Structures are given as structure tokens and as C-alpha cells.
Amino acid sequence: MTVTLSLIALSLVLFATDSLVAHFSGSPLANASAHSETNLPVHLAKQKHLVNPTSGALTPQDLWKMYNLPGLSGGAGQTIAEIIDGDLPTADADLQAYSKRFGLPQCTVASGCLTIKYQGGRKVPPASDPIEGLLDIEIMHATAPQAKILLYITSEKGNALAVGPGDILKTPGLRSINMSYGFNGTGKQFEHLYADNPNHVAMFAASGDSGNGVISPPSIYPEVIAVGGTVWNGKTETAWSGAGGGLSSLYAEPAYQKAYGIPQARGLRGNPDIAAVAGTPIVTREMGKWSSETGTSIASPIWTGIAALVNKPITNDMLYSLAKTHPDSFNDITVGTNGRCGFICTAHPGYDYITGLGTPKNFVANVNAMGK
């Protein structure tokens, strides 16, 4: 069910809520200007399609074919993490059902594959938006079926989610963290937590679902890998109209983007860095029911899982260097728009502000062929 709010109703919700979080998996809001920063302190309405799991929505097996992933054998010996605010009481049961439906290895608390930890060591109330966290861990498991998953749950109040990644960033053996959300304000006061990353854990953040210009922390941080979105038509991908993207006025163009030469950057941080499917529904199991979802909340956990499939840490430096030395690592998306601002809103050869460097093509094989 898609929920549409009038401008008046949305204003009242924004005024009344004290939540910090905007989860990215829903219908796009109106586009903002190409260089603005978003300020979204509410959980966005989901774009949810109730479906039979076999009726056309993407499956784990589809992702393996689309992105040349190893499938059932992928992720052995690795650990990947999900940050979410609010408890997910059905996480274990839903992930079990999802795994059984698609022939994936079981990943449960009892087996030690799924570990659930709470910020501060105490359980928090159930999430007001549980669908987000459930779809994230399922897609991570679909992408890297053999990897262990750390589900780190924060409070839904205050700055808990913003500081959450810093709590687990130095976990031994951790390969990647998924962040399918944005948070209120500029986020400047939290950036140092993401920069303190001695083990080079890959931090992936959804670029948002509101089209050009509506971008927020953590995806705008230079230390984070921002993930945009595409649409899959069965044979090829095009840029998704809802994918967040643009230039951040808050951060200077990072060295990795300068070295690559992203176009028309004007010295600013470009967003996103890479992309994966987002505008095509993917099957999920949510609180005991089958459904499907769209959004860059899908794209970000795909890449979080891919980090467990390669033999070296994924960093922005590595991604942009690889795009130059091994361009066939990425599907270069050249068709589609996410707004009406000309070049910045249009997909084109090379880097663009909807899909970044592109989606995985021979990424896993090329990185693994390079050695550690």
C-alpha cells in the first residue's frame, strides 16, 4: 500500500514528531534543489506491494544472475552488519522463512549465524518501522548466504542511530555495515565517528528515494559509500527516477572523486558513488507475510553483502581506482533521470549523479583476481 500525504498533513507530522530518522524505502517526495541537504525527521511511508513471491518480484537467484555473484557459496567466514533503530521481534523467524523459501542456508540466532545486539546492552521497544530492518537483513543474506550477520539495534530516540555505526565499527572481523536511512540535519557532529575506521570496514548508505537534491547524512559523508538506484527491465538497467543524488554543499570533493574526475563537481562531494537495483520490487518476508519493496534500501544491503564476497576491503578509493583500471567491473548506466535539472539529473557514460560509477558487473571476479 502506498501512502500519499498532502503538504498540510506532512507539515503537521514534521512538526509533531521527535524522531530523528528517515528510512529510505518508499514513494519519492517532491524534488529539492540540486545542491540542498534534506531535513527529514520522520519515517517515510513505504511503497509496499503485496504479492505472491513467484509473481515477478526479484529473488536472490535473480540478484546472483544480474550481478555475477557466486550464489550459495558466497560470504563464507565473513561477518556483515545492519544498523537499525527499534527492536525487530520477528527477525529470526522471518529470516528463517525467507531462507527456506529460496533455498538459502539457515541463518538463525540458535546457529550463531545471526547475532542481535542492543545499544547500551538493553533491549529497546519494537521498531515503529520494522519492515526496513527486516528487508535489509534478508537482502544481505541473499547476497552473501554464508556470511554471518550482526544486527545492531539502537533506540529510536535522539541521536542513537546516528552514533550507532561508531559503536560497532571496530568489531573484529567485520567487513561491512549497512545504513538504509538518513538522519536529521547536517550531521557534522557525527562525521568523526565514521572517520575512525582503522580496519577499513565498508560503510554503505542509501542515497535516498526522493530524487535529485534530497540527500542526507550518512550518505554524504566522504568516509561512507553512497548507493544510488536503478530499475531492472529483465535485460538491462536504467537509472531509477526516485534515486537520491546530487552535490553536497557541506563537504568538499574527496580526493578519490578528484582523481577519477567526476564531471561538473565544482569542488563538492558527489552523491552517490555506486548503485544497485532499487526501483524494481524485490521479494521480502515481513512479520510473517510475503511482500515486496522498492527503494535504495534494497541497493545498499546488496553492496553490504558484496563486501563479504571479495578478498579485500571495499573503500571509495578502491572503487574509483577500479573504475579506471577495470571499467568492466561496473555496469555503466547511461539511461534515465531523477529530476529536471539537466546534466546533474541525467544518467550518462561514466560517473553520474544517480548511479555513480554504476552497478556490479564483473566486480567480484575482478577484485578477487587482484589478490589481497
pLDDT at 300: 97
Query: Does residue 25 lie in a domain region?
Result: no
Query: Does residue 319 lie in a domain region?
Result: yes
Q: Tell me the CB-side half-sphere exposure of residue 35, using CA atoms within 13 A.
A: 10
| Dihedral, 372, 139, 200, 189 alpha carbons, nearest 10 | 170
DSSP state letters, 222-275: TTSEEEEEEEE-SS-EEE-TT--BEEEEEEEPPHHHHHHT-TT-TTEEEE-SEE
pLDDT at 52: 60
Q: What are phi and psi of 35, to 5 degrees?
A: -125, 20
pLDDT of 20 above 60: no
Tell me which of 7-16, 101-110, 186-195 is least confident: 7-16
pLDDT tens per residue across span 149-185? 999 999 999 999 999 999 999 999 999 999 999 987 7
Query: Does residue 184 lie in a domain region?
Result: yes
Rounded to an integer, the average pLDDT of 183-209 is 94
Rounded to an integer, the average pLDDT of 37-51 is 38
Query: Does residue 24 lie in a domain region?
Result: no
Q: What is the largest CA-CA distance in the chain?
A: 56
Query: Does residue 5 lie in a domain region?
Result: no
pLDDT of 337 above 50: yes
Rounded to an integer, the average pLDDT of 327-349 is 97
Express as a percent the part of the chain with pLDDT over 90: 80
| Dihedral, 129, 43, 155, 50 alpha carbons, nearest 10 | 10
Q: How much is the mean pLDDT over the chain? A: 87
pLDDT tier, 39 (very low <50, low <70, confident <90, very high otherwise):
very low
pLDDT at 371: 73
- Domain with 239 in it: 39-369
- Name the H helices within 17-159: 60-67, 91-101, 130-143
Question: Residue 278: which of 204, 348, 215, 355 has the closest Cα?
Answer: 355
Name which residue leads in pLDDT, 191 or 50. 191
**In the chain, how many domains are there?**
1
pLDDT at 111: 95
* Rounded CA separation 145/43 (Å): 29
Express as a percent the part of the chain with pLDDT over 70: 85
pLDDT of 34 above 50: no
Query: Does residue 160 lie in a domain region?
Result: yes
SS3 140: helix
Strand ranges of the sheet holding 48-49, from the earlier edge strand across to the other edge = 48-49, 289-293, 282-286
pLDDT at 23: 59
Location of C-alpha cell 561512507: 224
Identify the CATH number of the domain in which residue 217 sits: 3.40.50.200
Query: Does residue 270 lie in a domain region?
Result: yes
pLDDT at 33: 27
Q: What are phi and psi of 338, to 5 degrees?
A: -130, 30
pLDDT at 198: 96
pLDDT of 48 above 60: no
Query: Does residue 18 lie in a domain region?
Result: no
pLDDT tier, 55 (very low <50, low <70, confident <90, very high otherwise):
confident
Rounded to an integer, the average pLDDT of 23-38 is 35
pLDDT tier, 214 (very low <50, low <70, confident <90, very high otherwise):
confident
pLDDT of 24 above 60: no
Tell me which of 20-24, 284-288, 325-329, 358-362 is least confident: 20-24
pLDDT tier, 6 (very low <50, low <70, confident <90, very high otherwise):
very low
